Structure 1
């Protein structure tokens, strides 16, 4: 399963907010933001803090992508 945080980064662009500002606002480490940039999983606690501080929902900041070679995952859905 792949995750895309492109929606979050679009929100940051729309609000003219830098990733560093998000780190400070939501008390998230820069390494966690880097993980998100690489499409890696992060904890629900981090997602919740970001959503609360940006006044948005989980659907607004992330997208779960289907398993496929195109998204870097080719595991069969169980």
Structure 2
């Protein structure tokens, strides 16, 4: 399965966050987490939770899993 963060990038735009790197201090995630997400790689549930908490959303609002 592939991890897809397209919904997250759209949500950031909707919330007026134009630069993906602004998510780092907002959610308290590392640059490595953001780099992995940009590549569509898996990140920890803890990181996803931090993002959801910062954006006041649910995990289904930021990530989907797709068949290869």
Same-fold call, TM cutoff 0.5: yes
CA RMSD of aligned residues (A): 0.9
Residue correspondence of structure 1 range 1-78 to structure 2 within 5 A: 1-17=1-17, 18-66=19-67, 68=68
Q: Which runs of 5+ in 2 are unaligned?
A: none
TM-score, normalization: structure 1?
A: 0.80
Alpha-carbon distance in 2 for matches of 1:44, 1:23: 16
How many pairs align?
A: 67
**Based on CA coordinates, which of the two structures has the bigger radius of gyration?**
1
1:42-63 Cα shifts (integer Å, max 9, x gaps):
0000000100110000000000
Alpha-carbon distance in 2 for matches of 1:36, 1:49: 14
1:64 partner SS: strand
Alpha-carbon distance in 1 for matches of 2:56, 2:26: 12
Q: Which runs of 4+ in 1 moved over 6 A?
A: none
Alpha-carbon distance in 1 for matches of 2:31, 2:13: 17
- Higher relative contact order at CA 8 Å, sep ≥6: structure 1 or structure 2? 2
Task: Measure how far apart 1:30 and its partner are.
Answer: 1.6
